[in-house]
Amino acid sequence: MSRRFIVEPRGLAPWWLKLLIPIGSVIAAMILGGVFLVITGNDWIEVYQKMADAAFGSGRGFAETLVSATPLILTGVAAAIAFKMLVWNIGGEGQLIFGAVVAAGVGIWLADSTPQVIAIVAVVIAGAIGGAFWASLAAVPKVYLGTNEIITTLMLNFIALNFMQYLVLGSSSPWRDPEATQFPQGRPIVESGRIPEFFHRLDWGLFIAIGVAVIAWFVISKTRSGFEYRIVGDSFDAARYAGIKVPKKVLGTFLASGAAAGLAGSILVAGILGKMDPRSLDLGLGFTGIIVAALARLNPIAIIPVAILMGALNNAGPALQSIGVPSATVKILQGAILIFAVAGEFLISNRIHRPDPIAGEAKAEPEAQAA
Amino acid sequence: MNESVLMLTLMAGIGLGTPLVFGTVGEILTERSGILNLGVQGMMLFGAVMGFWATFVSGSLWLGVLAALLGGAGMSLIHAFNSVTLRVSQIVSGLALTIFGTGVAVYIGKAGSDPLIGQPSKAVFEPIFPEALTDVPIVGPLIFGHDALIYLSWAIVAAASYYLFHTRPGLTVRAVGEDPASAEAAGINVSKVRYIHVMLGGALAGIGGAYFSLALVPSWQDNPIGQAGWIAIALVILASWRPWRALWVAYLFGIAGRLNFTFQTLEINVPATLLDMLPFLLAIIAMIVLTSGKRAKFLGAPAALGIPYYREER
């Protein structure tokens, strides 16, 4: 029986395809979103123009886009370095939140007189440690007991979320602002712990995030440790034969991934927010980071532009409401982009072609000779 | 504890637990066939809005349920295509479904000149038996005091359990979830089985979502379901992939969800946010204690869960 198409796995996909899939995913998602907009009686051109204008149309708009992109770069790196090693850390959300909790804790505890540099470094590093600790709750059982990390990291997201809400909304913990009696909110961190802004609401945290992405790229592609990491990501067995301690590598990657997500939390606390507040941290930044990582095809450098794109979408949402279009349009687009991007991975890892009748005969011939 | 408070807590717990029963049993069917679908939250929310919309337009509750069922199943088809036909990452595809479904549901609720948001439902599921029966103390309300969807959920639990463990097609599903290669060798169409069960899971998640918008909180809000979809994924583990256990753990968490209110009535002070943490915390502990390493079989996790299946021949 002849088939119309043959699908077979391929080794290396051509570079243009790796570029085409993410771009194609965005375009396909915009078409799908456009269909949605038209069905519900909106002018899709107006909507997309409004979004582009809000995200890139002015200096302030672009600054807001970069503000939104900053945590996404970090949660994107967090997802990418884990996924590349087949560590399914989908707990970026929880690691970000717990990072924010620890960072805010340190920021509240520090004395007002702490020198600025020390205070900022302490708060920022505290977030990374908090994120790594939260990741360890899933990483240690995975490495030493074989517990599947998909479910544990997912569940830890909600535990962290509820814990944060408990600290501010459900108790009189040090994280709660004693002066806010009407509506409970987070207590501001020490002023010297705040990362300075340099344009509009944009602060230096952006460069910390970009720096982390570049370091991740450098370590993975230019160092011996990164080389071992790539071997483990390709095949656990091959790595074991090469004498690499796989459990140690997996644990290290998992913790680094958590630290990156925690860093996103501390940069929010030390930067734009100035406190840990449940209402402003319940944003799905961890999950959006997974979209970023998938669309960037787990490449840390590509994460930077992709995070800016996703930041632009997040930033454009509220602007849509001013023209009477639900801001959920953004979520539809982001979800659709991820659906297309993950489906596109099929084209990257497989080759589809029509059966070649001549090649088919040529293949049959040696068999006939052997018989 | 006061008897009426206890009764109210139990009844409300069963109500709150019902969407979890639908969602959890649906995900059990999906996972038993070897596919992990993390899109339950998105499918539920989409089912909630479709059910609400259809009832809003037609006035018929059962058309609402039908729309929710079709909506959830339709949404799950995306995941089935991605994970069975294209064999790409089930984890990322499921998360994509959640993000997409949430966006679509919230969008539909707000779209148009006369949006659904804030509107009360045109019809609401209410207890179906006459009061004479529910007046019997204790047993009356617990057995006869419910709406039609709760009885439907009982029927689905019983049917799903019988199907999985006492029928030949059910055995086929479990075989596909345990060892697809052997199942294929025995002449089973693995892809077909997986498609069907991913869509069954989607359909049930859709109905579970509609239970929020047509019974529990019969009006449209941005997110009437809270985190129910995620809780359902956790409950699958606590139910160890068995439908009857899903019913009990779902009610247990329904009651836990109601405890906030009960504690307030009894003037016991337990922070609501800590109680909300419980299902997730218990699921992790169950995961670590019961499913680690060689003990995974003890709980009943399908061996091929989440692993793409490639047929040998090409």
**Contacts of residue A211, Cβ cutoff 8 Å, sequence gap at least 6:** none
Interior angle at CA A162, CA A132 and CA A314, nearest 5: 75
B96:A150 CB<8 A: no
Residue of B nearest to A346 (CA): B86
Average the pLDDT over A80-100 and give the result: 93
Say whether A331 and B103 touch across the interface (CB within 8 A).
Answer: yes
pLDDT in tens, B139-173: 777 778 788 999 999 999 999 999 999 999 999 99
Chain B residues with CB-CB distance to A328 below 8 A? 102-107, 110
In three-state secondary structure terms, A187 is coil
**Position A370 confidence tier, pLDDT thresholds 50, 70, 90:** very low
H or E element that contains A67: helix A59-84
Phi, psi of B147 (to 5 degrees): -90, 170
Confidence of residue A183 (pLDDT cuts 50, 70, 90): confident
Residues of A in contact with B91 (CB under 8 A): 88, 90, 150
Q: Which residues pair with A353 in a beta bridge?
A: A6
Residue in A88, A163, A328 nearest the CB of B91? A88
The beta-carbon neighbor of A141 closest among B92, B274, B292 is: B292
Length of chain A: 371
Rounded CA-CA distance A261/A259 in Å is: 5
User: Quick one: pLDDT band at residue B292, thresholds 50, 70, 90?
Assistant: low
pLDDT tens digits along A237-270: 888 888 888 888 999 999 999 999 999 999 999 9
The Cα–Cα gap between B201 and B76 comes to 8
Q: Tell me if A331 and B82 make a contact (CB, 8 A cut-off).
A: no
B43 neighbourhood in chain A, CB within 8 Å:
none
Q: Any bridge partners for residue A6, and if so which?
A: A353
Q: Chain A: give the shortest CA distance to residue B141, in Å.
A: 33
Percent of chain A with pLDDT over 70: 94
Which tokens go with A92? 């970026």
* Nearest CA among B197, B249, B213 for reference residue B24: B249
Contact present, B225 and B45 (Cβ < 8 Å) = yes
CB spacing of B293 vs A145 below 8 angstroms: yes
Residues B183 and B177: their CA atoms lie apart, in Å, by: 9
Name the β-bridge partners of A199.
A202
DSSP A141-161: HHHHH---HHHHHHHHHHHHH
Asked if A329 and B103 come within 8 Å (Cβ–Cβ), the reply is: yes
pLDDT digits (tens, 9 = 90+) for A25-68: 999 999 999 998 998 888 899 999 999 999 998 999 999 999 99
**Alpha carbons B7 and A22: distance in angstroms, whole number:** 55
Contacts of B277 in chain A (CB under 8 A): 158-159, 162-163, 166
| CA pair distance A133, A63, nearest whole angstrom | 32
Candidate from B100, B272, B314 with C-beta closest to A339: B100
Rounded Cα distance between B190 and A132, Å, is: 40
The residue among A90, A175, A174, A105 whose CA lies nearest residue A135 is A90
- Residues with Cβ within 8 Å of A117's Cβ and at least 6 positions away in sequence, in order, are none
E-strand spans in A124-204?
A: 197-199, 202-203
**β-bridge partners, A8:** A351
Under 8 Å between Cβ of A100 and A268: yes
Nearest CA in chain B to A295: B92
> How many CB atoms are closer than 10 A to CB A143?
20
Residues 186-225 of B with CB under 8 A from A: none
Quick one: pLDDT band at residue A321, thresholds 50, 70, 90? confident
Report the C-alpha gap between B165 and B21 in whole angstroms.
Answer: 18
- Res. A351 pLDDT band, cuts 50 70 90: confident
Give me the amino acid identity at B261: F
Quick one: CA torsion of B265, B209, A316, A16, rounded to 10 degrees?
A: 140
pLDDT at residue B170, as a whole number: 94
CB-count exposure of residue A9 (10 Å: 0-12, 13-18, 19+): exposed
Cβ proximity of B297 and B75 under 8 Å: no
| B67 confidence band (pLDDT: 50, 70, 90) | very high
**What integer pLDDT is reported at residue A361 of this predicted model?**
44
Q: If you average pLDDT over residues A211-218, what whole number do you get?
A: 96
Q: Chain B, 3-62: which have a CB under 8 Å from a chain A CB? A: 36, 38, 42
One-letter amino acid at A93 equals: E
Closest chain A residue to B107, measured at CA: A328
* Distance between CA atoms of residues B175 and A291, nearest Å: 33
The 3 state secondary structure assigned to A295-345 is: HCCCCHHHHHHHHHHHHHHHHHHHHHHCCCCCCHHHHHHHHHHHHHHHHHH
Which element (helix H / strand E) includes A8? strand A6-9
Complete DSSP assignment for A69-83: HHHHHHHHHHHHHHH
User: What value does the mean pLDDT take over residues A197-213?
Assistant: 92
Looking at the complex, report in whole angstroms how far the Cα of residue A335 sits from the nearest Cα belonging to chain B. Answer: 4
- Point out the least confidently predicted range of A3-7, A126-130, B122-126, B238-242: A3-7
A-proximal residues of B, 221-250, CB under 8 Å: 227, 230, 233-234, 237
Check whether A178 has a pLDDT greater than 90.
no
Q: How many helices (H) and strands (E) does chain A have?
A: 15, 4
Q: What is the mean pLDDT of chain A?
A: 88
- Partners of B78 on chain A (C-beta within 8 Å) are 339
**CA dist A145 to A87, A149, A254, B292, B300, Å?**
15, 11, 15, 5, 17
Question: Does the pLDDT of residue A357 top 70, yes or no?
Answer: no
At residue A365, the pLDDT reads: 42
Distance (Å, rounded) from C-alpha A184 to C-alpha B213? 30
Contact flag A155-B274 (C-beta cutoff 8 Å): no
A326·B102 Cβ contact <8 A: no
Q: Which residues of B touch A290 (CB under 8 A)?
A: 92, 95
pLDDT computed for residue A367 by the predictor: 41
Report the share of chain B in percent with pLDDT over 70.
Answer: 95
Measure CB to CB from residue A346 to each of B86, B108, B284 and give the nearest one.
B86
Q: Is B96 on the interface with A (CB under 8 A)?
A: yes
In a mutational test of the A interface, the residue from B275, B288, B311 whose CB has the highest number of chain A CBs within 10 Å is: B288
Reported ipTM: the value is 0.89
Query: SS3 for B120?
Result: strand
pLDDT at B282: 83
Q: What secondary structure does DSSP assign to B20-61, as a single string?
A: HHHHHHHHHHHHHTT---TTHHHHHHHHHHHHHHHHHHH--H
Burial of A115 (0-12, 13-18, 19+ CB in 10 A): exposed
In the stretch 256-275 of chain B, residues with CB closer than 8 A to chain A read: 271-274
* Residue at A77: amino acid letter: V
Pairing of strands A350-353, A6-9: antiparallel
d(CA B101, CA B50): 11
Q: Are B121 and B60 in contact (CB under 8 A)?
A: no
Q: B81 CB near a chain A CB, below 8 Å?
A: yes
Q: What is the b/e burial string over B135-159, where b = at least 16 CB atoms within 10 angstroms of the residue's CB?
A: eeeeeebeebbbbebbebbeebbee
Report whether pLDDT(A368) > 50.
Answer: no
A99 contacts: CB under 8 Å, gap ≥ 6: A126, A127, A128, A130, A131, A134, A261, A262, A263, A264, A265, A266
pLDDT, average across residues A4-33 = 86
Q: What is the pLDDT of residue B20?
A: 96
Shortest Cα–Cα distance, B106 to chain A (Å): 6
